Amino acid sequence: MNLQGKTLVVTGASSGIGSEVARLARFHGARVIGMDRNDPMVSLAGFVRVDMADPASIDAAIDALPSRIDALVNCAGVSGMADPDLVARINYLGLRHLTEALAANLKGGAVVNIASILGAEWPKRLDAHKALAATAGFAEGAAWLKAHPVPQETCYQYFKEALIVWTKTRGYELFMQHDIRMNSVAPGPVMTPILGEFVQMLGEERVASDAARIKRPAIPDEIAPPVVFLCSDAARWVVGINLPVDGGIDAMYV
C-alpha cells in the first residue's frame, strides 16, 4: 500500500473512520488533506472546513483543494437519528456533489465511499436508487427526494443503499471516461462517536439479536486498511465493488 507522492482528500477526517484513514494514509507516505466541520484530531498536510449538507459550502471548499488529487475518501456521515433531509444531504447528495465536482482533479485516481452493511438490501429498491442516481446534481436530487420522501425509520439504510448503487453505476462511467476507480466499503458496527445512535436507531431487540451472532463491533483501524488499499495502485483494476468489512456479518445472512 505504497502511497508515496500521492495526495488524498478525506472527508469526515476529524473523527472515527475518517480520522483513522487519514492517519494510516500518512503512515504509508500520502499527503492528506482533511475536510470536516470540526477541527482535526490528527496531523494533516492541510485542512478545509466544510458543511457537507450545503452545496455552497462544498463549492467554496473545492476552491481550497489542489488541482491534482490521487484519491478522495468520502467518510463524512450522520446516523439515521438525524432528520431524513439532513441524512440525504450529507450521506448522499453532498458526497455526490463533491465527487462529481472533483472528477477533473481525480483523473487516473480513486474514490472510496463509506457505505454500510445496512445497505445490503439495495437490490430490493434498485429502480428507485437508479432513478435517484440519474438525477443531475444536488438540487435535482433533492427535488426527486421531495417527490419520493424516505421515512425516518429507514432513511439511513436507504441512503447507504443508494450510495452503493451510485458507486456501481457512476463508478463504471467514471472509469471508462476518466480512468477514475470508484468503490465502496461497507462496515458493520464500528466503535465511533455515533455508535450509540445506531443502537437507538436499530432498537435494542435488533441489536441484541445481532450481538449474539457477531464477535464484536469493529474499531476504526480495522476498517481503514481496506480503504487505503483501494486508494493505492495495488487496486488499479478494482472498480465498482462494494466491499464488506464487517467481521462476517454479510456472510452470516447467506
Residues classed as catalytic: 156
Cell of 69: 488529487
Cβ–Cβ < 8 Å for 18, 75? yes
Q: Please list the residues that pair with 51 across neighbouring strands.
A: none
The three cell numbers locating residue 2:
505504497
Q: Which amino acid is at 64?
A: A
207: phi then psi, degrees, rounded to nearest 5: -65, -45
Find cell 483523473 and name the residue. Answer: 107
What is the C-alpha separation between 86 and 105, in angstroms, rounded? 27
Residue 183's contacts (CB-CB under 8 Å, 6 or more residues apart) are 110, 111, 112, 113, 167, 171, 230, 235, 238, 239, 240, 241, 242, 243
Taking the C-alpha atoms of residue 212 and residue 38, their distance in angstroms, rounded to an integer, is 35
The string over 36-61, giving b where at least 16 C-beta atoms fall within 10 Å of a residue's C-beta and e elsewhere, is: beeebebebeebbbbbbbbbeebeeb
